[in-house]
Amino acid sequence: MDGGARMPRRRWCRRLTRWGAVVGWGLLAMAQDAPSTPAAPGFFLPANPVAAAYVLGRLSNKELIAAPRGEFVYTALLERAGLERKYRLEALEGLAKLRHSTGLAQLLAGLTDLDKKGETGTNVVRELGGLLLQAKPEELAAQRPVLETLATEAQLPLTRELADAGLLTAGLPIDQLWQRAAARPEQLADLVRAIPWLRPPAQRAPFYPRLEPLLRQPDPAELRQAAMLTLVTIPGHDTATFAALAALAQAGAERATAINALERIPKSSWPTNNLAPLLASLVQYLQQLPPSARTETDGLEAFQCANDLAARLPLDQARAATRTLRALGVRVEVLHTVYEQMRYDRQLLVAEAGQPLVVILENDDAMPHNLTIVTPGALEEIGTTAEKMAPEPDAQGRLYVPASPKVLAATRMLDPGQTAKLSLEAPAQPGDYQYLCTYPGHSRRMTGTLAVVKDVEAYLASQATNAQPKLTEWTLAALAPDLAKVGYGRDLEDGRTLFTKLGCAQCHRINGLGNLYGPDLTEVFTRWNHDHAQLLDQILEPSKVIADRYRNYEFELKNGDSLTGMILKEDADTLTIQTGPADNLIQTVKKSDLAERQPQKSSVMPLGLLNLLDKNQIFDLLAFLEAGGNLAAHVHHP
């Protein structure tokens, strides 16, 4: 391989590396430096690619992960459903190297391949789509012919919309794309559905004037539905979009899609008045639905929307509406995962004590998630227990659900795009129960509270004023100009609260507060040369600098198991490894049992920790760090 071919791949990998930090992968970067493992002697794999794919298709995910790497295994790792993202990245890197190509080209080849498999490939297409749109515009532009072929010829609508999203990201003129797509309504629908893939959301803004008129075009239905679901992803128009969708829902035109779309508008953007007519129309709709249809997806979403509307009404009105709703069916909460953010769209679910509850989880993200409901205070224990579990399904076919009385209910692990319905009886004892995704690494961020209360309406009324969190993808560039503000007028108490609330304290200790899994932060400001920008940069991009002591390793054991963790201690015969932020996650492994250890280039610290904060909160946190966690002693310079 010549150096020229190497450069673009390195850039590609670096982009991916940023991703890897979220999910804890790091093999990709290593693969650049060390040649991929040659096929183990005797590993049965025919030379014929079709036969090889068949043979690999017979392996379980665990066996496939353990298979010695080669072109066919990489292809399988790229295309097999239910694998962690790190294996996709490793596969792309491996394929790029073997085929003297780029990761992006291999990604597109994989998408093309998966598209040919039809519906069965959908989940992985969605997953790879997320990776595709991480590529730089100029890299995507270089792949324009492949993207255009996919956009027009792929059999899965999802593949076509991803290809469109790729072309949009590549910076192709919007007019040109729109005009070309407008020739065929289904192609235009693809393009409309591609828009929500664009990031950051501001990129979607130019489409508003084209989408909004589509709401008034009943034909073709597919196009209008696509426009409804896309409009809600365009920032800055929530009020108008809400009104337009509400009108459609009230008119009974595309009611299901309208309700679905309405529910995707942040509750903070919902109007506070004039909701009663929409609520009345939904109640009327639900009343005429046969009981069996009320627990189907459309009915459940209508329930959810009606409940959400009722929660915004004055308490007396809300009571009347929810009483009617409750008479119609069980309490339903619909929960979505948020694409690429490793969180649920809602951090609060409400249930009436002792009453039946249905939670619908729709996995809109590109990686697997579940919903596990646990007893108050059990979140961390269940999350860390799940991380140690082997990826083998339990008796109910669920992955990573600990067998514990503290688990009240759990869905199966949902692949991207899947939906699950969890029916349970809410506990008789009111309290703040918790929910989380138990996929390893997710429980630190993907959590929420299930408030079990005696009076749901009263509780909701008390909560109605609480705005939904606002998300900002902070960059150093966006914050740097104001960093001087860290220096004065900061609320260190707020900083300390944030240190705990964001989960920093789960892994870091400062002035005696928190756990010692990551570095102690008491002296952190000194370590970063008293430079707020350097400290902030490290929070925003945790993998930039990793001290050896805190480097994560992937260990492969000779018995086929694998572990990921930091090395606490190493002597001649043993390694002491910590796999997570708790003392019970420390284990000693005999070196003689180890097959391999791979240092990872990404930090275990998640990305996007600051996304829920505003600037002031970030600066409060920085000030708290600067003060070494000492509220009293620190006297800030003016």
Residues found near other proteins in the complex (CB under 8 A): 40, 42-44, 46, 48, 50-51, 54-55, 58
HEC readout, 22-45: HHCCCHHHHHHHCCCCCCCCCCCC
Complex with other proteins: residue 58 or 637, whichever CB lies closer: 58
Helix (H), strand (E) at residue 112: helix 103-116
Helix (H), strand (E) at residue 114: helix 103-116
Complex with other proteins: residue 61 or 337, whichever CB lies closer: 61
Which amino acid, 583? D
Which amino acid, 589? V
Backbone angles phi, psi at 441, to 5 degrees: 95, -15
Complex with other proteins: residue 44 or 327, whichever CB lies closer: 44
HEC readout, 480-529: HHHHHHHHCCCCHHHHHHHHHHCCHHHHCEECCEECCCCCCCCCHHHHCC
Q: Least separation, in Å, of the C-beta of 79 and other proteins? A: 17
Q: Least separation, in Å, of the C-beta of 55 and other proteins? A: 7
Spatial contact of 337 and 361, defined as CB atoms under 8 Å apart: yes
Q: Least separation, in Å, of the C-beta of 185 and other proteins? A: 36
Backbone angles phi, psi at 359, to 5 degrees: -115, 125
- Alpha-carbon distance of 432 to 374, in angstroms, equals 10
A 10 A CB-CB count for 91 gives 28
Complex with other proteins: residue 48 or 429, whichever CB lies closer: 48
Q: Least separation, in Å, of the C-beta of 45 and other proteins? A: 9
- Compute the residue count for the chain: 638
Complex with other proteins: residue 61 or 385, whichever CB lies closer: 61
Q: Least separation, in Å, of the C-beta of 60 and other proteins? A: 12
Question: What tokens were used for 467?
Answer: 């705005």
Q: Least separation, in Å, of the C-beta of 415 and other proteins? A: 24
Question: What tokens were used for 312?
Answer: 């915004």
Angstrom CA distances, 144 to 4, 149, 166, 225, 396, stand at: 21, 9, 8, 28, 45
Closest to 79 in 3D by CA, of 55, 103, 104, 53: 53
Complex with other proteins: residue 50 or 635, whichever CB lies closer: 50
Pairing outcome for strands 552-557 and 447-453: unpaired
Question: What tokens were used for 447?
Answer: 């959590």
Spatial contact of 197 and 162, defined as CB atoms under 8 Å apart: yes
Complex with other proteins: residue 74 or 433, whichever CB lies closer: 74
Q: Least separation, in Å, of the C-beta of 47 and other proteins? A: 8
Complex with other proteins: residue 35 or 41, whichever CB lies closer: 41
Q: Least separation, in Å, of the C-beta of 84 and other proteins? A: 23
Spatial contact of 252 and 288, defined as CB atoms under 8 Å apart: no
Q: Least separation, in Å, of the C-beta of 75 and other proteins? A: 15
Complex with other proteins: residue 65 or 426, whichever CB lies closer: 65
A 10 A CB-CB count for 152 gives 15
Helix, strand counts (H, E) of the chain: 29, 15
Q: Least separation, in Å, of the C-beta of 51 and other proteins? A: 4
Complex with other proteins: residue 44 or 273, whichever CB lies closer: 44
> Any idea which residue has 């998408």 for tokens?
111
The residues with which 552 forms a beta bridge, in sequence order, are 566
Complex with other proteins: residue 43 or 488, whichever CB lies closer: 43
Complex with other proteins: residue 48 or 287, whichever CB lies closer: 48
SS3 466: coil
Q: Least separation, in Å, of the C-beta of 535 and other proteins? A: 50
- Alpha-carbon distance of 463 to 202, in angstroms, equals 30
Closest to 345 in 3D by CA, of 373, 367, 364: 364
Q: Least separation, in Å, of the C-beta of 42 and other proteins? A: 5
